[in-house]
Structure 1
Amino acid sequence: MKKSLLLTVIAVLGLANVNAQNVEFGAKAGLNFASIYGDNTSDIGFVTAYNFGLMSEISISEKFSFQPELLYSGIGYSIDDESDDDTVALNYLTVPLLGKYYLTERFSVEAGPQVGFLLSAKQESTDVKDAFKTLDFGTSLGLGYKLDSGLNFSARYTLGLSDISESEDFSNNTGVLQLSIGYFFF
């Protein structure tokens, strides 16, 4: 896992040096509305968590840019059964690698792959990290709006493509709607 993270960071930093005069750096934070889907998920509900981290936007042309991010992202799900409401909190370090196409000067569509590195998994106060795989690969699709001041807004959905469960009896994937506000400093 450490080698994968290191290679991802090196690749992102290498791309940032391609055209340094057209690179912006910033931070972002927001809310996640997350759950899982797949086998045995009929009693599974959404949880609300948060995300925060760093981002960069590298202009390729007037209409197209590349936006790598490094985010702490809370994901998880709630279990609705007759006895109680229980929550499983999955905390990831995610690396979205998004292509952005500007439909207008400020409004963009964004899409690209994402890799998530599982940091922790808790059910109530019990550590359940061993029940989940350490990597989660997904794909993101979203919309963005960027003001001249550097303030920006985004809404995206990330669909998990890999099975996150260590169990051989069933397969589960993540699904996250992410709403964020960011600011490009320079």
Structure 2
Amino acid sequence: MRFFFFSKSFAQETYLGGIAGFLVQNSNAKAVNASSDIKEKVKMGVFVSAPIERKFNEKITVQAEPGFALLGAKYEFTDSETRYLRRLEFESANLPVLFKYYVHKNININAGASFVYIVSANSKLVDGVDGRTPFGEAAYTFLANETDYNDYVKRFSINPFVGLEIVSDRGFYFSLRYSLGLSNIAETHPDNELSSLKNSYLNLGFGYKFKLK
């Protein structure tokens, strides 16, 4: 009975906040043509969101985190003996939903899924990338024309994740998550060199939250 009243008091606690950070993305891409020789590369992204956390008791909470993320992918492929680099940018609405378990009052482990909707997709394509230094590759990519890529991707995906948070007594916190890309977002299109594209990424975020009175 004592535990029931203790849990009930915690059920009234709701926290609001904000978080922003970086994404380290790694794609798993498969080509339509086996001779394309796909080589995936790491791509950076950013995110910002507004978490809403509800406590069931001192150990278990649930959280929804609506926000925006700049996702994408980067890979090399071969077409007609020419080596290309494609960089994709996905402006995405993102809704992670997760359960947290507090192993300590300042540390929790969590798991959930991110519901992602691609609002806009763009591509940059650079040819003749063989033999270029990373600096030269970055310069050519920056100068390349950006084209619409919306017809080549599926708009909606779901990515499960696991994570860790460290929270200070003043409400500041650090979040680390790994999202496993299980959804194939490559759309069937006669001009798409990919038959499959799955994105996994590491989230590194810093945020602040406060308890509603």
3-state SS of 1:24 partner: strand
8 Å CA contact retained: 1:75, 1:176: no
- Give 1:85 deviation, angstroms: 4.2
Match for 1:57 among 53, 59, 65?
A: 53
Match for 2:62 among 58, 63, 66?
A: 66
- Give 1:86 deviation, angstroms: 3.5
* Structure 2: 5+ residue stretches without partners: 1-9, 32-36, 125-145
C-alpha RMSD over aligned residues: 2.0
Q: Which residue of 2 aligns with 1:165?
A: 186
Whole-angstrom CA distance in 1 between matches of 2:105 and 2:202? 25
What is the number of equivalent residue pairs in this alignment?
A: 168
Larger mean CA deviation between 148-157 and 86-95 belongs to 86-95
Q: Which residue of 2 aligns with 1:29?
A: 20
Q: Which residue of 2 aligns with 1:11?
A: none
* Structure 1: 5+ residue stretches without partners: 1-18
TM-score by length of 2: 0.73
Whole-angstrom CA distance in 2 between matches of 1:28 and 1:151? 10
Whole-angstrom CA distance in 2 between matches of 1:21 and 1:156? 27
| Residue type at the aligned position of 1:148 | D
| Corresponding position: 1:132 with 2:153 | yes
Rg comparison, structure with higher value: 2
TM-score by length of 1: 0.83
Whole-angstrom CA distance in 2 between matches of 1:75 and 1:85? 17
Q: Which 4+ residue blocks in structure 1 deviate beyond 3 angstroms?
A: 80-86
Q: State the identity as a percent.
A: 26
Deviations 1:10-44 (A, max 9, x none): xxxxxxxxx87300000100000113214238411
Match for 1:150 among 171, 196, 202?
A: 171
